Amino acid sequence: MNRKQEQSRGIGFCGLLAVAFIVLRLCGVIGWSWVWVLAPIWGPVALILILSVLYAALDGMDKKRGA
């Protein structure tokens, strides 16, 4: 019988950074806005979306020029 193995990669760097920022914010060490405290969670997703939009725009411009 061949079973699919599940792998747990752990929390990762961005998750660990987010937990650290949340703890620091709740303890009053940093006075950042919650938007910036949670940036390690939404930041990578936003970066991927921005890069995807830029790629699509540049690709569309190349196709429009006939390259």
Instruction: Note the pLDDT of residue 2.
Output: 57
Instruction: Note the pLDDT of residue 66.
Output: 72
Whether the CA torsion 50, 55, 60, 65 is positive or negative: it is: positive
Instruction: Note the pLDDT of residue 57.
Output: 92
Residues 6+ apart with CB under 8 A from 10: none
Instruction: Note the pLDDT of residue 67.
Output: 56
- pTM score, two decimals? 0.68
Instruction: Note the pLDDT of residue 10.
Output: 83
Residues in the chain, pLDDT under 70: 1-4, 67
